[in-house]
Amino acid sequence: MAQYSTPQFTESEGKIISFLTFRQFFVLVGGGAVCFALYYTLPFALFLILGIMVATITAAIAFLKVNNTSVVTLVLHFITFSIASKTYVWKKKESVYPFASKRYEAKDMEVGGKTALDATKKIVEYRKK
């Protein structure tokens, strides 16, 4: 029977440029293209404001991970959770047989006198050495 090597490190993406993975590289290229388009279409002051916002969001999408989950996946899960209908597992239903609840009266407890524990305590405390 032929033996085949088992792939290892399937969780990590391959690096294409220094420390950048394929996905990170193209996310940064896309963010750079958006900033490039903003530079030529908007006044400089507005370009600076929007360019910084686009660059920050692009860097977060490319590099930031929360609990080993990318920001895009995290945002998609949040939107899905917010929009989807909520299913509640337990709901109180009326009982087929109505039960009358028992009412208990509060009784005054007697504050006891001497107990065996008190007697033992006294013996231990006053024992002669």
Instruction: Give the global pTM.
Output: 0.56
Angle at 35 between CA 32 and CA 39, to 5 degrees: 135
Residue 66: beta bridge partners? 69
Contact assessment for residue 23 and residue 31, using Cβ atoms and an 8 Å cutoff:
no
Q: What is the domain partition of the chain in residue ranges?
A: 20-83
Listed in sequence order, the residues at least 6 apart from 121 whose beta carbon sits closer than 8 Å to its beta carbon are: none
Per-residue pLDDT reduced to its tens digit, 21-65 = 889 999 999 999 999 999 999 999 999 999 999 999 999 999 999
Phi, psi angle pair for 20, to nearest 5°: -95, 135
- Give CA–CA dist 74/22, Å, rounded: 20
pLDDT, residue 112, reads 67
